[in-house]
Amino acid sequence: MLYDPIVPLPPELLDHLQARRDEVSTALDSLRACRQRVSEASDRLESARATDDYLDAFIGLLARAENGLDTAIGDADRVRARVTADGLRRLAAGARAEERRCREFSDRWVQKPLPHEEVRPLLTQMVSIVRHQLGRLASLEDLAARIEAAAPQVEGRFDRRALFERFTEPLRRRTEE
């Protein structure tokens, strides 16, 4: 078993995490603005409900990603490399899993003739923001690998018997005397 030491995150990786967090925050603001525009144009949308569901799903996903990145940044001075890398990998896996939903929404509600063509730029903007962020979040896998590679690998074993003997050794010496 490898021991996961507590080490500070290298500055270049911290900068990279902060840049990703800022991108996610900007995308969240953009999607929230899109939500406002969708509610104003709901009578011209073919399915306002599907659009709301799409926005809800991805605003939630990006909010969770933002929280995960905030946690990683907040713990930058005392990072457990494997734990942080695993968190980033979970974010990347979640983003890859949601790519299908993005494609399906685009195929079903955007990439077809619309009754009110004036809403197409709004729908296209939503899809492009989400698609871009999903790609960026999926690439957190690379950052996770870089974080693990930057951490020192310390070989350590947790041997219960040795630990028990270590604690009971003073008692044994006292009883032998």
Distance CA 68, CA 88 (A): 8
Judge whether residue 163 has pLDDT over 80. no
pTM as predicted: 0.80
Q: Where are the domains positioned within the chain?
A: 2-154
Distance CA 42, CA 56 (A): 15
Sequence-separated (6 or more) residues with CB below 8 Å from residue 93 = none
Helix (H) or strand (E) holding 73: helix 48-74
Q: What confidence score (pLDDT) does residue 1 get?
A: 41
**Which of the residue ranges 64-73, 104-113, 122-131, 148-157 would you say has the lowest mean pLDDT?**
148-157
